[in-house]
Structure 1
Amino acid sequence: RGGSVMNHIRLGCEYGPLVPAGGADVLLAFEPAEALRYAHYLSKNGIALVNTYPIHPTTVTTGQFTYPPLEEILRPLQRICNKLKTIDATKLAVDAGTPQAMNVVMLGALSEHIPLREEELIEALSVSVPAKFLEVNRRAFELGMNAIGL
């Protein structure tokens, strides 16, 4: 928490741990400024799915810098991306029962566009999420699926 994290996930037959710049089919951004920071990875036909809830870095919370308005972040993203979809995944996670399920809301929103079936993703949740949080995460996944039509 509190810092930028980037992960590359490659599905398919091409070898290599990293997605080259301009080679990503999907950019899944849990924070608006991070979407803009990593947009150069998207292919021309790529999809960016962006959580609109900002996470202010310490340089903003201490008053050294200001966080730009959401529109100033999304405008250049719209020029870069073939498809830009925004979702307030943090609010939906709260609606599901916990803000910590934001990542699962995002997975639900993206699920139609990855080569894994909904049942497989729910099964993965059931083995990786403690039982007491499973229902909240299932709700979060469903809210994400229903929130956006990519």
Structure 2
Amino acid sequence: MMRAWLLPMLFVLTGSLVAAGVFASGKTGQGVLLLLLFVLLAGLNSPLVFPRSIGAVEARRRSAVDGRPIVYWRPGCQFCLRLRFRLGRDAHRAYWVNIWRDPDGAAVVRAANDGNETVPTVVVAGEPFTNPDPGWLREKLSPSA
């Protein structure tokens, strides 16, 4: 749990220190902007921007019932973030598994990627796809698919 928040906390801490230095030099407006930028970066790299994660076992069970894709991800991954934002509102139609919180999910990813924890790894109908095109996944998530 703590590892997922390490990068966001680092952004907030760094931003606070940089902003404090700017505030000390009398540039309040610049300091506020810098602090807001670092807080925004922290938010974008936090688990908060992703749909609620579930365990790999539960995701496989649910996917077997309704056929929805499973997205294995981890906080701080720029490719996971890109996928999440490119999916937009359709992101909630997939099951999201945080591999840093779920050892079973990490094992699935390693099995699909020659022992590497390469994310995002998406499993559709039992077949894994590493770092798929967001447009392709959006098609798989559409209600008519």
TM value normalised by structure 1: 0.26
Richer in helix (by share):
2
Larger gyration radius, structure 1 or structure 2: 2
Q: TM-score, normalised by structure 2?
A: 0.26
Higher relative contact order (CA 8 A, sep 6+): 2
